[in-house]
Every structure is written in C-alpha cells, then in structure tokens.
Amino acid sequence: MDVKKIAVQTAKKYQTWNPYEIAEARGVQIIYAPLKSILGYYTKYKRIQCIILNDNLSSHLQRFVCAHELGHSICHTNLNTQWLRKNTLVSTDRIEREASTFAVELLLPDDLIREYPEYTLERLGKIAGIPLDLCSLKKFY
C-alpha cells in the first residue's frame, strides 16, 4: 500500500491538508472525550465512522492523532483499531505504522519541506505537531 500516494490524493481531492476539514468532508464524526492515557481511536459502527480524540491533549498532538485516525478511516475503513497510546505511537504493527505514515505525509507535505529548505525535517515536524520519533516515516521519492 502506497500510503504517501493515498495521503496526497486525499489532500488533493478535498483541497486541504487539514485532517479536521478532510474528516468533516468525508462525514467522519470527531468526538472529544476524557480518555486518560489513550490518545484516540477510530471506530466504525453501522456505516458511521468516528474518530474519538482525547480532550486533554495539546492542540498539536490532538491534530496529529486526528490525522493518524483519519489514516485508519481511509486506509483501514472496516477495521476498528486499537486505542492509540503514548507508548504505541512508534509501533511496529503494520496497520499502526501505515496510519502514522499517513499522518506524517498529510501534516508534512513535500511542498512544505521545499518551501523551507533551511529547516530540518525534525524542526518542520515539530512545528506541524508530529512526534519526533515519527518524522523518520516521511518518504521522499
């Protein structure tokens, strides 16, 4: 699965790189809830897709988690995914890695990197709200 291609096509289709706007355009409900140590999760019930986000996260991390869960809603539509916890952000599980790659590609598009060549990938990732350990998922080709 070419997750970068899917993220780029999604952004072009909805004319935005904003995960909240894409979710709204796709009819994906975003629900905020007190989830303690859980960052968020994606679920689908009777054709209704929902992203549940921890309401206690910083806006930057919440945006990343939204993009990650949006990745699940697009790449893994019919799977109810495990809850994303802080300790599973850097997961070796294929499905979680694909969702994180989708989030990185959505929040850190190639045009942004070309626009700021003086910035490191890690600095741009931090500005975009991407956890440092996940910046390495960015694909260049």
pLDDT at 1: 80
Bridge partners, residue 64, by sequence = none
Structure confidence by residue, pLDDT tens digits, 38-61? 999 998 888 899 999 999 999 999
Looking at the predicted structure, is the pLDDT value of residue 90 above 80? no
Cβ contact 103:71 at 8 Å: yes
Q: Domains of the chain, with CATH numbers?
A: 3-134 (1.10.10.2910)
Q: Confidence band (pLDDT; 50, 70, 90) for 8?
A: very high
Structure tokens at 3: 């997750």
pTM: 0.88
Beta strands in the chain (DSSP E): 29-33, 38-45, 48-54, 84-85
Q: Are 134 and 107 in contact (CB under 8 A)?
A: no
Percent of the chain with pLDDT over 90: 75
